[in-house]
Copies of this chain bind each other. A is one copy, B any other.
Amino acid sequence: MTTHNLHDTVALLTRTPAALDALLRDLPETWTLRNEGENTWSAFDVVGHLIHGERTDWIPRAKIILQFGEARAFDPFDRQGHVRESKGKSMEQLLDEFARLRSESLDELRKLNLRQEDLEKRGRHPALGVVTLSELLAAWVVHDLTHLHQISRLMAHQYREAVGVWSAYLGVLKCQGHSA
């Protein structure tokens, strides 16, 4: 395990939109619109959620830490925000929008010109309590990976029966998800 490294963080955050684009663009709806059952998300929902995070979560929270420190808690994140973001849109529109917003977020991050002492600054999460800017940026990366993990699982679920006895060897089919 490693400590947070801003260069590594930016490298991964930069690649997520292109990875999702390569996987999901023009993919049949079997993979993009189906979910894992009632009250679960499709890949389409996940991309909408990532868009909502770019708008309201990561950079806005970084700025709250830098401006207010622990004095002002972050605005709570709306876990249903993706419904509004994605209504009436195609997967291709969502992928374009996510790529554009992520690129803008990373531009903003560069403009903040963060030094080590900035990364150690503290803010206040409305539920989790005191956090640092460094932890926020690391969580941004792992949030991308959580949803890549979810997408691979929910897509595999569509072939749960189609693989027959091979399911014994295919780990992703044993994953029950790990949402809070």
Contact = CB atoms under 8 A, between A and B. Distances in A.
5 contacts: A11-B31, A15-B22, A15-B27, A148-B148, A150-B171
Contacts of A18: 22-23
Contacts of A175: 149, 175, 178
B178 A172 contact: yes
Contacts of A142: 156, 159, 163, 166, 170, 172-173
Contact of A162 (B134, B170, B171, B178): B134
Given A125-B165, A145-B156, A27 B12 contact: yes
Contacts of A161: 1, 3
> Which among A145, A175, A177 has the highest number of chain B CB atoms within 10 Å?
A145
Given A152-B148, A172-B142, A2 B158 contact: yes
A166 to B, nearest CB: 4
Contacts of A135: 162-166
Contacts of A145: 152-153, 155-156, 172
B30 A5 contact: yes
B146 A170 contact: yes
Contacts of A27: 11-12, 15
Contacts of A1: 157-162
B128 A166 contact: yes
> Which among A15, A27, A157, A162 has the highest number of chain B CB atoms within 10 Å?
A162
Contacts of A28: 5, 7-8, 11
A167 B19 CA distance: 23
A99 to B, nearest CB: 11
